[in-house]
């Protein structure tokens, strides 16, 4: 949601963001190379295993170039993006978009259907009313007016010319809850295609690992303690091979007023920040799924979330508002509590 002005803030928050998911990369092997840049309004760290620095650098540079391309298409704030073109023409015209934008928006709506609307890429009109940087929140009546517009079933797709139209004037497509996971997937495809057999693509809290560390052991990905006194405080560590993991947390973009924490994961039914959790972590082979589902499960609230996790055999780690945790049975072998 944040524009270019937020990049400075993002830079200042680099330490926080990095430790949302803190990677314990083997320090012994000379074959691990790593680089961080700010892309998609977030700190992106690419880690690759390669047999030469030259090969690693070339692959990493190509991956960052691809990420900047995706950012230009998918950005909510960039006036030149596909998403902005769709939004400017809401209620008026269908806009032909790139395959990436088309496929990602379709995927977003699939997840909306799968989650009973807990994930809704039409969240835009409510999301723009919240200003976490300046601690400003909308009034109840301002939010209420947007509710009829938060409706993913009014995103119209035409596969013949890969065009998208928002049915109603005032609707705003926001792929912010799914774009980083998608970008992690594309990055891994690209790096694999360039012959890189293992590594980590970390878009802040949306991470995908592939292959193993040089010694054959799994990658280790930390989950930040949501109320930790320092960002280095971890609540758990995952051991992963060829998996994606995303964490959605109420500590990423938020402010506190009169003891109430207002954060950026919104319930499409109310336009208000979703309750019940401090953070939700989801593990799945695809980053596009972990990103959207961590947001969706967060929105569902405790009971619906537990039922959904059970029904779909989702690998998930939940930190409830009171600090207690839940680990799905199928994640227990991969997760170590701290």
- Could you tell me if 284 and 309 are in contact, meaning their C-beta atoms sit under 8 angstroms apart? no
Residue 295 binds to ligand ADP (criterion: CB under 6 A): yes
Shortest spacing between CB 245 and ligand ADP, in angstroms: 12
CA atoms within 13 A of residue 14's CA, in its CB half-sphere: 11
Residue 316 binds to ligand ADP (criterion: CB under 6 A): no
Residue 276 binds to ligand ADP (criterion: CB under 6 A): no
Question: Please, which residue, 32 or 252, has the CB nearer to ligand ADP?
Answer: 252
DSSP H stretches of helix in 128-212: 140-146, 179-193
**Rounded to an integer, what distance in angstroms lies between the CA atom of residue 175 and that of residue 112?**
12
What burial letters (b/e) apply to 203-212, b meaning 16+ CB within 10 Å?
bbbbbbbbbb
- Which residues, numbered 110-129, are part of the site for ligand ADP (CB under 6 A)? 119-121, 123, 127
Residue 287 binds to ligand ADP (criterion: CB under 6 A): no
The contact pattern for ligand ADP, residues 39-78, with x = CB under 6 A and - = no contact, is: ----------------------------------------
Shortest spacing between CB 114 and ligand ADP, in angstroms: 12
Q: What tokens were used for 80?
A: 């030149």
Q: From the list ligand ADP, Mg ion, none, which binds 264 (C-beta under 5 to 8 Å, kind-based)?
A: ligand ADP
Shortest spacing between CB 26 and ligand ADP, in angstroms: 26
Measuring CA to CA, which residue among 192, 189, 197, 195 is closest to residue 219?
A: 197
Q: What tokens were used for 159?
A: 């596969």
Residue with tokens 């019940």: 276
Residues interacting with ligand ADP, by CB under 6 A? 1, 119-121, 123, 127, 174, 176-177, 180, 205, 248, 252, 264-266, 268, 291, 294-295, 299
């Amino acid at each position: 949601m944040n524009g270019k002005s937020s990049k400075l803030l993002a830079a200042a928050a680099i330490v926080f963001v990095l430790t949302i998911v803190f990677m314990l990369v083997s320090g012994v092997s000379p074959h691990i190379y790593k680089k961080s840049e700010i892309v998609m309004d977030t700190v992106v760290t690419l880690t690759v295993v390669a047999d030469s620095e030259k090969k690693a650098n070339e692959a990493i540079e190509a991956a960052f170039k691809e990420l900047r391309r995706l950012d230009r298409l998918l950005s909510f704030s960039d006036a030149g993006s596909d998403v902005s073109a769709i939004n400017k023409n809401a209620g008026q015209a269908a806009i032909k978009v790139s395959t990436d934008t088309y496929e990602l928006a379709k995927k977003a709506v699939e997840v909306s259907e799968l989650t009973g609307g807990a994930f809704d890429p039409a969240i835009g009109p409510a999301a723009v009313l919240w200003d976490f940087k300046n601690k400003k929140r909308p009034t109840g009546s301002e939010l209420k007016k947007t509710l009829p517009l938060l409706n993913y079933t009014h995103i119209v797709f035409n596969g013949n010319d890969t065009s998208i139209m928002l049915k109603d004037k005032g609707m705003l497509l926001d792929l912010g809850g799914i774009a980083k996971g998608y970008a992690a997937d594309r990055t891994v495809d690209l790096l694999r295609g360039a012959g890189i057999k293992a590594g980590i693509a970390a878009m802040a809290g949306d991470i995908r690992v592939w292959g193993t560390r040089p010694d054959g052991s799994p990658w280790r990905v930390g989950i930040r303690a949501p109320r930790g006194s320092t960002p280095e405080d971890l609540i758990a560590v995952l051991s992963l091979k060829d998996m994606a993991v995303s964490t959605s947390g109420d500590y990423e973009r938020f402010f506190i007023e009169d003891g109430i924490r207002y954060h950026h994961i919104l319930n499409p039914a109310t336009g208000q920040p979703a309750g019940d959790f401090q953070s939700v972590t989801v593990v799945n082979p695809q980053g596009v799924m972990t990103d959207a589902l961590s947001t969706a499960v967060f929105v569902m609230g405790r009971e619906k979330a537990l039922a959904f996790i059970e029904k779909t055999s989702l690998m998930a780690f939940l930190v409830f508002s009171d600090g207690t945790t839940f680990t799905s049975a199928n994640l227990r072998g991969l997760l170590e509590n701290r």
